[in-house]
Amino acid sequence: MNKIKYISLLWKHNAVNNTISCKPYSNKLTKRLFINGNNKYFNKRKNIKQVKCYKCHRDINVDNVPFSCQSCKALINVDVFKIFNFFELFGFRKVSYDLDKNYLKKKFNDIQKIYHPDKNAQNSELERINEVSSYLNNAYGILLNDIDRASYMINIQYNYKIPEDENLEDEEFLSEIIKINEQINKPEMDLLLLTREYKDKYEDHVKRIKLHFEEKDFENIVNTLKKLKFINKILERLKNL
């Protein structure tokens, strides 16, 4: 039987990073990639000998995320923030799919008090501050969104991006999604019941992704994320009816 292809309109989701698309690795190899790649990512700051303040030209300590120069208190250039991954930017000690969103929101608000353009309207470095603010807004949005957060973690831990035209192996699931999309606009469809059902499916798949990340199960991370994107598109359609 021929595999059912993705219907891109149903699930297309904005890419969060430019990464190399590649074929799925074997489970043994992906575990090595996860461990080695993750250590390499976090240890790269050890290879950075110096980061200079653009204003006073003194060294900036990057052992932790700096939000101003330790010497002259100038606000930081966006390139310094790019040394850190998004989890580190907001004070998380490790990369984990299961994050505290309330803590994330609080940290984001605290940082915005420093870098929000409205609070720096008279600052001569407003363009530089706008660039940082935009970068932080993007990082925050990615971590807050369950789908984008998973995609970002696949990127930094496996150097992988799900191709938009990649097949979905679970034909039964895809057939269900196609059927639901065809029936949503029918008068007899109970939209409240359907919304409740797909919200439950959404939460169930988020929990599965969390478990698969903990188990370093690359193939199931990717497959479950594909399904979550379909489920999210159904919920978006229901919300807009």
Whichever domain contains 52, its CATH number is 1.10.287.110
| Spatial CA neighbour of 88 closest among 104, 74, 68 | 104
Residues 77-131 have pLDDT tens digits of: 999 999 999 999 999 999 999 999 999 999 999 999 888 777 776 667 788 888 9
Q: Is residue 106 part of a domain?
A: yes
Co-location of 98 and 175 in the same domain: no
Residues 156-197 have pLDDT tens digits of: 999 999 888 777 888 999 999 999 999 898 888 899 999 999
Q: Is residue 128 part of a domain?
A: yes
Q: Is residue 132 part of a domain?
A: yes
Co-location of 107 and 197 in the same domain: no
Q: In degrees to the nearest 10, what's the CA dihedral of 174, 175, 177, 180?
A: 180
Q: Is residue 3 part of a domain?
A: no
Contacts within 8 Å (CB) and 24+ apart, 94-103:
95/38, 95/153, 95/156, 95/157, 96/213, 97/149, 97/150, 97/153, 97/209, 97/210, 97/213, 97/214, 98/210, 99/143, 99/149, 101/144
Percentage of the residues of the chain whose pLDDT score is greater than 90: 59
Provide the whole-model pTM: 0.80
Of 103, 133, 157, which residue constitutes the final position of a domain? Answer: 157
pLDDT of 189 reads: 87
Co-location of 35 and 138 in the same domain: yes
Co-location of 98 and 213 in the same domain: no
Co-location of 42 and 136 in the same domain: yes
Co-location of 226 and 202 in the same domain: yes
Q: What is the span of the domain harbouring residue 93?
A: 31-157
Q: Is residue 90 part of a domain?
A: yes
